[in-house]
């Protein structure tokens, strides 16, 4: 279907955004704050900033969002998007608050390292360090150690999906569900939507090529930890919520991943938001994602998987 009028207005308001290779990376980073700046933060029951040991023993900042709901709460560790090179805790503060309130989950937002200063696998190691920390400290935070989820949008979805692969390979798996929103899952950028929507929809195919080069230069593009879509075996991965957007270069890879998971017997809740853009998924995006998360948790699937996975706290 054609662009929704609200998405078209957003695209016009965003104007001719420069491609990242055309401007200093500092300017490209400032641009995402302008895109996110219109969101109004909701109050939540509690917000707390913390610092833990990151993937290479460096300080790693987290921000907890605790909704007004009865404990113990499901815990969602959230990796932010931004083409691997931009974004931070403040950039996505309003989105994390809204998701915590709508989902009833305790959200642990991660300020993972950015590329090109930190390259593959450093941001991924930060993601997994945050997941392990959340599992160890779930009870004291008011969370349920048997309901540890990992989530991310865009490039954060790439990190979240890859972290589930690391977790599955661990002898003490802790992740029982994953939430992937418009995820980047195919570094080959070869799906049809990458061509169909790769120009004129703000996120371009050229930008995707550039961002993978910042994050993982020289890494084979089929490496599963870089391209989770190309994981040879997806059996045993945690139950998933996957949300895609129609007019999005990365739409097809998210939907292909949902089909692969489902075919392997992994419980999946997938939906596509019609008429919207990668950068502007519409006002229904967070409530929809939160509802799918609640549905998944209410089904008992995530809890059952968590109880069966060894190493729970």
Positions marked active-site: 154, 248, 278
> φ and ψ at 219, to 5 degrees?
-85, 130
Total count of residues recorded for the chain: 313
Contacts 24+ apart (CB under 8 A), 284-287: 285/181, 285/243, 286/95, 286/98, 286/99, 286/102, 287/98, 287/102
Q: Is the Cα torsion angle 237, 226, 290, 148 positive or negative in sign?
A: positive
| 37 Cα distance to chain centroid | 19
């Amino acid at each position: 279907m054609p662009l929704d009028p609200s998405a078209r207005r957003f695209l016009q308001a965003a104007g001719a955004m420069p491609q990242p290779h055309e401007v200093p990376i500092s300017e490209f980073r400032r641009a995402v704050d302008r895109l996110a700046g219109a969101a109004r933060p909701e109050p939540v029951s509690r917000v707390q900033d913390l610092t833990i040991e990151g993937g290479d023993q460096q300080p790693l900042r987290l921000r907890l969002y605790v909704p007004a709901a009865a404990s113990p709460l499901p815990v969602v560790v959230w990796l932010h998007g931004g083409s691997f090179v931009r974004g931070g805790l403040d950039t996505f503060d309003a989105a994390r608050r809204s998701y915590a309130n709508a989902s009833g989950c305790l959200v642990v937002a991660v300020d993972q390292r950015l590329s090109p200063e930190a390259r593959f696998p450093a941001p991924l190691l930060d993601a997994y360090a945050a997941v392990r920390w959340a599992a160890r400290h779930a009870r004291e935070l008011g969370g349920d150690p048997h309901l540890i989820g990992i989530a991310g949008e865009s490039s954060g979805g790439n990190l979240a999906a890859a972290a589930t692969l690391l977790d599955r390979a661990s002898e003490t798996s802790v992740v029982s569900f994953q939430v992937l929103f418009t995820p980047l899952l195919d570094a080959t950028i070869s799906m049809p939507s990458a061509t169909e929507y790769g120009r004129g929809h703000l996120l371009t195919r050229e930008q995707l090529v550039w961002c993978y080069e910042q994050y993982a230069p020289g890494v084979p593009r089929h490496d599963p930890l870089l391209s989770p879509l190309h994981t040879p075996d997806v059996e045993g991965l945690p139950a998933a919520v996957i949300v895609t957007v129609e007019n999005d270069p990365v739409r097809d890879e998210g939907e292909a991943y949902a089909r692969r998971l489902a075919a392997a017997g992994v419980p999946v809740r997938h939906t596509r938001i019609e008429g919207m853009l990668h950068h502007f998924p519409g006002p229904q995006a967070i409530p929809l994602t939160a509802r799918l998360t609640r549905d998944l948790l209410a089904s008992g699937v995530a809890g059952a998987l968590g109880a069966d996975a060894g190493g729970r706290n």
